[in-house]
Amino acid sequence: MSEKIGVYVCHCGTNIAGTVDVEQVAQWAGSRLKERGVIIARDYKFMCSSLGQELIEKDIKELGLTRVVVAACSPHLHELTFRTACAKAGLNPYLCELVSIREQVSWVHTDKEAATTKAQAVVAGGVERVAYNESLEPLKVPIHADTLVVGGGIAGIQAALEIADAGYHVYMVEREPTIGGHMAQFDKTFPTLDCAACILTPKMVQVGSHPNITLSTWSEVENVDGYVGNFTVTVRKKARYVNTDSCTGCGICWEKCPKKVVDEVYEAGFGIRKAIYTPFPQAVPKYPVIDKENCIYFIKGTCKACEKFCPTEPNSINFEQEDEVIEVQVGNIILATGYDLFDAKRIPQYNYKKLDNVFSSLEFERMCNASGPTNGNIVLRDGKTAPKAVGIVHCVGSRDKNYNTYCSSICCMQSLKFAHLVMERTDAEVYNFYIDMRTNFKDYEEFYQRILEEGGHFVRGKVAEVTDAVRFPGEEGKLIVQVEDTLIGKQRRIPVDMVILSAAMEPRHDSKEVGKQFGIACGAAGWYIERHPKLDPVATMTDGIFIAGCVQGPKDIPATVSQGAAAAARILGRIQQGEIALEPIRATVNEEQCSGCRICNDLCPFNAILFHENTMVSEINPALCQGCGTCVAACPAGAISGTGFSNEQILAQIDGLLLLNVGDETIPA
Partner 1 sequence: MTEQFEPTIIGFTCNWCSYRAADLAGTARLKYPPNIRLIRLMCSGRLDPTFIFKALANGADGVMITGCHPGECHYLEQNYKALRRFHLVRRTLKGFGIEPERVKLVWASAAEGVKFASETTSFVEEIRELGPLHWGKNSGQFPGGGEPSEFEPAPESPEEVPA
What residue ranges in 73-200 does DSSP mark as E strands? 96-100, 139-142, 147-150, 170-173, 188-189, 194-195
Between 154-165 and 557-577, two packed helices, what is the crossing angle to 10 degrees?
A: 30
Question: Taking Cα atoms as reference points, which of 445, 427, 423, 429 lies closest to residue 368?
Answer: 423
Min dist. Cβ of residue 111 to partner 1 (A): 7
CA distance 7 to 123: 8
Number of Cβ within 10 Å of residue 578's Cβ equals 12
> Which of the stretches 212-220, 374-382, 383-391, 601-609 binds partner 1 when contact is defined by CB under 8 A?
601-609
Note whether 653 binds partner 1 by CB under 8 A: yes
The nearest distance, CB 188 to partner 1, in angstroms, is: 37
When binding is defined by CB under 8 A, the residue of 103, 220, 468, 591 that contacts partner 1 is 103
- Of 188-196, 338-346, 429-437, 599-607, which segment contacts partner 1 by CB under 8 A? 599-607
Orientation of helix 647-657 relative to helix 112-130, angle to 10°: 150
Contact pick of 66, 81, 100, 415 for partner 1 (by CB under 8 A) = 100
In one-letter notation, the amino acid at residue 380 is L
Q: Is 195 in the site for partner 1 (CB under 8 A)?
A: no
Contact call for residues 71 and 42 (beta carbons, < 8 A) = no
The answer to whether 574 and 331 are in contact (CB under 8 A) is yes
Residue 29 CB, nearest approach to partner 1 (Å): 16
CB of 131 within 8 A of CB of 655? Answer: no
Q: Which is nearer to partner 1, 321 or 630 (CB)?
A: 630
Indicate the helix (H) or strand (E) that contains 357.
none
Q: Which of 529, 569, 610, 624 binds partner 1 (CB under 8 A)?
A: 529
Q: Which of residues 337-396 bind partner 1 (CB under 8 A)?
A: none
Rounded Cα–Cα distance for residues 309 and 297 (Å): 15
Neighbour-count burial for 184-202, b at 16+ CB within 10 Å, e otherwise:
bbbbbbbbeeeebbeebbe
Under rule CB under 8 A, which residues in 539-568 are in contact with partner 1? Answer: 541
108 binds partner 1 (CB under 8 A): yes
Is there binding between residue 326 and partner 1 (CB under 8 A)? Answer: no
Pick 74 or 482: Cβ nearer partner 1? 74
Bridge partners, 8 (sequence order): 42, 70
Cβ-based nearer residue to partner 1, 9 or 503: 9
Residue 263 within binding range of partner 1, rule CB under 8 A: no
Which of 23, 89, 107, 303: binder of partner 1 (CB under 8 A)?
Answer: 107
**Shortest spacing between CB 16 and partner 1, in angstroms:** 11
515 Cβ partners below 8 Å, 6+ apart?
521, 522, 528
Cβ(587)–Cβ(632) under 8 Å? yes
Q: Tell me the three-class secondary structure of 94-111, residue by residue.
A: HHEEEEECHHHHHCCCCC
Only one of the segments 200-208, 274-282, 428-436, 649-657 lies at the binding site for partner 1 (rule: CB under 8 A); that segment is: 649-657
Give, as ranges, the residues between 616 and 645 that touch partner 1 (CB under 8 A). Answer: 626-630, 632-638, 642, 644-645
Residue from 45, 88, 109, 237 in contact with partner 1 (CB under 8 A): 109
Min separation Cβ 521 and partner 1, Å: 6
Question: Interacting stretch for partner 1, rule CB under 8 A, among 252-260, 295-303, 482-490, 659-667?
Answer: 659-667
Partnered with residue 506 across adjacent β-strands are: 340
CB contact at 8 A, 147 and 335:
no
DSSP string, 435-449: SS----STTHHHHHH
Residues 46-75 that bind partner 1 (CB under 8 A): 74-75
436 binds partner 1 (CB under 8 A): no
**What does the alpha-carbon distance between residue 60 and residue 484 come to, in Å, rounded to a whole number?**
71
Cβ nearer to partner 1, comparing 452 with 628 = 628
Least distance to partner 1 from the beta carbon of 663, Å?
9
| Chosen residue from 34, 58, 76, 612 binding partner 1 by CB under 8 A | 76
Q: Does 585 bind partner 1 (CB under 8 A)?
A: yes
**Which lies closer to partner 1 via its Cβ, residue 318 or residue 621?**
621
CB of 650 to partner 1, least distance (A): 6
At 529 the three-state DSSP class reads coil
User: What is the Cα–Cα distance from 593 to 611, expressed in whole angstroms?
Assistant: 14
What are the b/e assignments for 68-80, b being 16+ CB within 10 Å? bbbbbbebeebbe
Our finding on whether 136 is near partner 1 (CB under 8 A) is no
Nearer to partner 1 by Cβ, of 296 and 522: the residue is: 522
Identify which of residues 152 and 515 has a Cβ nearer to partner 1 in the complex. Answer: 515
Q: Nearest-CA neighbor of 358 among 173, 477, 494, 499?
A: 499
Please give the size of the binding site for partner 1, defined by CB under 8 A: 60
Nearest Cα to Cα of residue 515 among 562, 552, 569, 559: 552
**CB of residue 584 vs partner 1: minimum separation in angstroms?**
12
CA–CA distances in Å: residue 80 to residues 76, 85, 97, 583: 8, 8, 10, 12
- The one segment of 40-48, 135-143, 260-268, 520-528 that binds partner 1 by CB under 8 A: 520-528
CA atoms 167, 245, 255, 357: torsion sign: negative
* Smaller CB separation from partner 1, 244 or 595: 595
Strands 587-589 and 640-642: antiparallel
CA distance 66 to 37: 10
**By the rule CB under 8 A, 523 interacts with partner 1:** yes
Q: Are 163 and 331 in contact (CB under 8 A)?
A: no
Q: Figure out which of the listed residues 521, 525, 581, 616 binds partner 1, where binding follows CB under 8 A.
A: 521
What are the φ/ψ torsions at residue 567 (nearest 5 degrees)? -60, -40
Min. distance of Cβ 93 from partner 1 in angstroms? 17
Interacting residue with partner 1 among 136, 250, 435, 603 (CB under 8 A): 603
Candidates 599, 610, 623, 624: give the one binding partner 1 (CB under 8 A).
Answer: 599
By beta-carbon proximity to partner 1, the closer residue of 126 and 495 is 126
Q: Which of 35, 111, 510, 579 binds partner 1 (CB under 8 A)?
A: 111
Choose between 281 and 533: whose C-beta lies nearer to partner 1.
533
- The answer to whether residue 651 forms part of the interface with partner 1 (CB under 8 A) is yes
Determine the interface stretch with partner 1 among 46-54, 118-126, 217-225, 266-274 (rule: CB under 8 A): 118-126
**One of 10, 22, 41, 122 touching partner 1 (CB under 8 A):** 122
Distance (Å, whole) CA 539 – CA 547: 6
89 or 603: whose CB is closer to partner 1?
603
Q: Which stretch binds partner 1 (CB under 8 A): 120-128, 228-236, 274-282, 296-304?
A: 120-128
Neighbours of 334 (CB within 10 A): 32
Q: Is 149 in the site for partner 1 (CB under 8 A)?
A: no
Q: Contact residues for partner 1 (CB under 8 A)?
A: 74-76, 100, 102-105, 107-111, 114-115, 117-118, 121-122, 125, 516, 519, 521-524, 529, 541, 585, 599, 603, 605-606, 626-630, 632-638, 642, 644-645, 647, 650-651, 653-655, 657-658, 661-662, 665-666
